[in-house]
Amino acid sequence: MRSWQPSLDIEDFRALREQFTDFMLGYKFAIDEITTKINILREDFNNAHEYNPIEHINSRLKAPESVLEKVRRKNYAMNLASIRENVLDIAGVRVICSFISDINKIRDMLVGQEDITVLDERDYISRRKPNGYRSLHLIVSIPVFRSDRVDRIPVEIQIRTIAMDFWASLEHKIYYKYRGEVPPNLQGELAEAAEAAAALDEKMESLHRLVDHNSRPRPT
């Protein structure tokens, strides 16, 4: 594979652009596969238990500029093999659940599939981040069957509740507005909001359990 040289002629540039487009396509296919898996789990679980553990699914493919910006920022080698190995969030899928207990259900059903390999797992729910961030993060790899080869592609999967997601979206906006330098009083307000979101999650979980328990037919 050619490396990126400062003195590329137009033919070299075209060849690199084609390689990069092909490379990024693999991540789009990986998102398609993971999304299909999660949709199947949602429908199947709903059919078996008359209950839907997933509120919605989002996905995003990292923009090429953001991929290259991360490679530069983290000082990774600027070639496709290095990007594949080091930048593990090019394909991102977010699963939003209603209840905390749904998160591990989804996690276990995914991780148990034989074509999925877990490369990394971060449980920011058991151990929330100092700013209050809660979410379960998995980096998995999945085989993508191309016309001429099979590639194992990494995908970042974030699983969280509606309350966790609501908080994270706002925190993200604030973080960007202040370019990472969030004033201490706002940090405090965000920590309080994270507390309230966690309390809401626990309350909803216990109500859910109560209803779930009461709706089961009593043994005769």
Active site residues: 156
Report d(CA 88, CA 79) in Å as an integer: 14
Asked whether the beta carbons of 131 and 101 are under 8 A apart, the reply is no
Report d(CA 162, CA 96) in Å as an integer: 6
Residue 128 binds to ligand GTP (criterion: CB under 6 A): no
20 or 133: CB nearest ligand GTP: 133
Chain length of the chain:
220
2 or 129: CB nearest ligand GTP: 129
The residues in 84-113 that bind ligand GTP, with binding defined as CB under 6 A, are: 89
Among 28, 37, 122, 128, binds ligand GTP (CB under 6 A): 122
Helix, strand or coil, per DSSP, at residue 91 = strand
Count of residues that interact with ligand GTP, criterion CB under 6 A: 9
28 or 122: CB nearest ligand GTP: 122
CB-side exposure of 157: number of CA atoms within 13 Å?
32
The piece of 39-47, 56-64, 125-133, 187-195 that touches ligand GTP (CB under 6 A) is 125-133
Report d(CA 25, CA 117) in Å as an integer: 20
List, edge to edge, every strand of the sheet that includes 117-123: 54-61, 91-97, 150-161, 136-145, 117-123
Report d(CA 131, CA 181) in Å as an integer: 13
- x-marked contacts with ligand GTP along 131-170 as a string, rule CB under 6 A: x-x---x------------------------------x--
Q: For residue 148, which amino acid is it?
A: D
38 or 157: CB nearest ligand GTP: 157
Residue sitting closest to ligand GTP (CB): 133
The piece of 2-10, 128-136, 180-188, 207-215 that touches ligand GTP (CB under 6 A) is 128-136
Dihedral angle computed from the Cα positions of residues 195, 197, 198 and 200, in that order, rounded to the nearest 10 degrees? 120
By the criterion CB under 6 A, which residues form the site for ligand GTP? 89, 122, 129, 131, 133, 137, 168, 171-172
